[in-house]
Copies of this chain bind each other. A is one copy, B any other.
Amino acid sequence: MSKVGIIGIGLIGGSIAKALPSEVVVYDASSHALQAASGLGIETASSVDELVNTVDTLVIGVPFEAFDSVFASVQSAAARREKPILVTNVLSVMNPVEVTEPNVEFVASHPMAGTEFSGFEAAKADLFEGATWVLAKANDQLAGLVAKLGAKPVVVDPSKHNAIVSQVSHMPHVLAAAQILALPDDSFYSLAASSFRDSTRVAATAPELTGSMVGNNSEEVLHAMKRLSGVLDEFIEVLESGDQAALEQLFARANSQRSKHY
């Protein structure tokens, strides 16, 4: 069985490489990252072409901005292959990807795991342990790789995926940033304790990553913000009316719903 190719060894691609160091071949535009991988005994390729010719499964781990051009190079290289190559990306939004090369079987996927850090140095071998990993469609080859990483492959339709992540991932990022930006001045940090620290933790994520993620899913994020705003209006109404029982009821409903899942 051939090794798994990885293009882009940031937090996600790098974590796959660290989890399966002897079963992957990696390529990254940064020679610094490639050296770091090589230093851990991970096999490296010197170009996208070389990588596409070496493996039967390829993970594209580059950010949104780089994806189209990297995928175009992958398709040209794959044209010279004798058999198909399975390609996945690991982007946090599943937007349509145009496949023009018959030798490429593309299945979008998205591991529901991450941290507020980025880059190969932040990558961790156990990042995916126990995490859900969404596949845009069923694929045994990809599901096998996901399972080997300790994650649970789950097939979810891309549009449903985008709607869900807008609410459970992109909204927390927007609200973390919004809470920071809503502080009238720096003195407010003096009384901030764990509730503020934790609910703004993901504001430490690299802004270009968060911006792409949210911007590439803007329609769904706008829906999510509308849903949230409807709930905030309920809070405003009970706070303005002074109905303490109704206020407590809102918190009680949230508490009981959450406790079924955590």
Contacts and interface: CB of A to CB of B under 8 A. Distances in A.
Interface in A108-139: 112-115, 131-132, 134
A254 interface: yes
B156 A169 contact: no
B195 A198 contact: no
A153 B132 CA distance: 44
A202 B197 CA distance: 12
A194 interface: yes
Contacts of A239: 214-215, 218, 221-222, 225
A171 interface: yes
Given A113-B194, A176-B254, A181-B231, 20 more contacts: A114-B195, A132-B191, A164-B188, A164-B190, A167-B182, A168-B189, A169-B195, A171-B182, A172-B195, A174-B235, A178-B254, A183-B257, A186-B261, A195-B201, A200-B254, A211-B247, A211-B252, A215-B244, A218-B239, A225-B236
A28 to B, nearest CB: 23
A45 interface: no
Interface in A202-218: 202-208, 210-212, 214-215, 218
Contacts of A227: 182, 184
Number of copies of this protein chain within its complex: 2
A251 B193 contact: no
Chain A interface main SS type:
helix
Contacts of A212: 244, 248
Which bracket fits the contact residues of A? Answer: 35 or more
Contact of A131 (B174, B187, B193): B193
B193 A114 contact: yes
A229 interface: yes
Contacts of A248: 207-208, 210-212, 215
**7 closest residue pairs by CB, A with B:** A211-B248, A177-B254, A207-B251, A207-B252, A172-B199, A180-B254, A172-B195
A152 B160 CA distance: 48
